[in-house]
Chain A
């Protein structure tokens, strides 16, 4: 269905954006558990993504398509996922916002738009092609422009490579990072990011993008990590 294809395209873009988590072919056991390689763990303090919804009204990732060329409600949609796994390594100096390494993995099939047919479209070849590229990956390279904004809260820019649909692209994501110690839950980090992803940058191209599907998909992410790995 044409409309469905439109929606899926948008989703694909969104998912790509959410790509903060993705699996690279090597170094990851599966989407359910991501171990920190020894050489990466040696760089500092390791934090693991706490799986699942962070809060009752909060999802790890939400994405939305708002095409500018179409004012029809049918062409706008949002989706979410709470299947991100991965880790981040904070510099050994202990500054919580100074992430020196990390990987976030997001299974493409976990993207949920609330519409069964649209979810299926999203995974197809015209969009994210989940069969060939099952996971979206974000690999942290460094953090820059770290600014303390409150008690253990920071604004920064996360530099990393997003791999989606077989294409890897470096992106700089504006993030808000908060840290706290939560007793039996371990030391926690919260990373929030709002940004847009351009579908075509990741090789997702078709006649629908730019019309019923926005060229840029808006993403909002809320990821909590802990020094204690979930069992």
Chain B
């Protein structure tokens, strides 16, 4: 009974981790790859030349926010995939390794193994039960 309880608890924890990683992925922008806030980029943004502002009233080019292609956001986004450079996938402690795949992936495997062991145990009990009843008769 304890074993069953532990298994159900384990399964529940796995579902919670998978669900929360998906929630975080959704909440941070459905990014394909994990990104982080880049302080250097933010600093560069502060230290702009501001020359674009000088052209603000120039003819039909008025306005400084004139670029149509949007720059990638500079904030944390949990990605579906890790964003490590190639050949560095073994660095599991790197923050760029964190992603839905690396959070939910192993958790899913644990959940499936737990389910499999519970199923095997149940089948074994069903198999043993009729033989016990026969034996008691």
Contacts and interface: CB of A to CB of B under 8 A. Distances in A.
A58 B64 contact: yes
Given A115-B35, A150-B60, A178-B55, A53 B49 contact: yes
14 contacts: A52-B44, A53-B44, A54-B51, A57-B67, A58-B66, A62-B69, A64-B69, A116-B83, A119-B85, A182-B54, A185-B54, A222-B66, A224-B49, A224-B55
A71 interface: no
Contact of A54 (B33, B52, B86): B52
Given A114-B74, A150-B60, 13 more contacts: A1-B81, A4-B33, A55-B53, A58-B52, A73-B32, A78-B70, A112-B72, A117-B88, A152-B59, A153-B59, A188-B51, A188-B54, A190-B58
A117 B44 contact: no
B72 A180 contact: no
Interface in A108-131: 112-121, 124
Contacts of B47: 52-53
Determine the main DSSP class of B at the interface with A.
Answer: loop
Nearest to A114: B72
Contacts of A80: 71-72
A7 B83 CA distance: 11
A54 B49 contact: yes
A40 interface: no
Interface in B28-64: 30, 32-35, 38, 41, 44-55, 58-61, 64
Nearest to B52: A55
Interface of A: 1, 3-4, 7, 50-59, 62-64, 73-75, 77-80, 82, 112-121, 124, 149-153, 176, 178, 180, 182, 185, 188, 190, 192, 194, 218-220, 222, 224, 226
Nearest to B77: A114
A80 B73 CA distance: 11
Interface residues of B, number: 44
A224 B51 contact: yes
A218 B58 contact: no
A178 B59 contact: yes
Interface of B: 30, 32-35, 38, 41, 44-55, 58-61, 64-74, 79-86, 88, 96
A101 to B, nearest CB: 22
A114 B58 contact: no
Interface hub of B59, B70, B88, B96 (most chain A Cβ within 10 A) = B59
Nearest to B87: A120
A112 B82 contact: no
A77 B55 contact: no
Nearest 5 A/B pairs, CB to CB: A150-B59, A55-B52, A114-B72, A120-B85, A153-B59
B54 to A, nearest CB: 5
A220 B67 contact: yes
B114 to A, nearest CB: 29
A182 B55 CA distance: 10
A117 B30 CA distance: 18
